[in-house]
Amino acid sequence: MLSNRADLQQFILELGVWGPLIVIALMVLAIVMSPIPSGPIALAAGAAYGPVWGTVWIVLGAEAGALIAFGIARWLGYEAVERKLDGRLSFLKKERSQAALMGVVFASRLVPFLSFDAVSYAAGLSPLSFLRFALATLAGVVPISFALAYFGEHLIEAESDRMLLVAVLVGGITLLPVAFKLLRDWRRQNH
């Protein structure tokens, strides 16, 4: 049904104002509800709205989702979560500068393999201020959102064999951190 750009654009036009709202809501849901992947939503937004408007909708949803996750963690409180996890979060409460914490959040947003939602929840348990978290997240999410939207726009235009190649490459890139960790662990055990 939606195998080409014209069909997808027609479907999106029929959604009207609901289309962007659905993208934003799905991004929020993907971030607040951890098992839902946000990458495919971002790719679909790029395919549907192009790199500029797709980026806008992705960023709005990602920022809102991150702020909600941060707020949930802040509301639950560090002490309550720390008790549940038997002291395994003590590293989050160490005194660090707000600028350093912002840098960590910003850098984590640029790495597509790090869990966006986990970073948001962890930041909510840290001493990082809400405003600094919001700014670092926004600054970091714009470039990756644009890349995903741009990629999504071109993915729908690609031929099916090229799409398969791209899917394999993206899957391989996604597995690189896992392979790196396994190799590092193996080297530690054998040396």
The model's pLDDT over 36-92, given as tens digits with 9 standing for 90+, comes to 778 888 888 888 888 999 999 999 999 999 999 999 998 887 666 666 655 555 555
- Is the pLDDT higher at 145 or at 189? 145
* C-alpha angle 149-71-32 in degrees, rounded to nearest 5: 45
pLDDT band at 1 (very low <50, low <70, confident <90, very high): very low
User: Residue 34: phi, psi to the nearest 5?
Assistant: -45, -40
Q: What's the length of the chain?
A: 191
**Every domain of the chain and the residues it spans:** 5-157, 161-191
The model's pLDDT over 141-162, given as tens digits with 9 standing for 90+, comes to 999 899 888 888 877 665 555 5
CB 58 within 8 A of CB 163: no
H or E element at residue 75: helix 39-76
CB 145 within 8 A of CB 62: yes
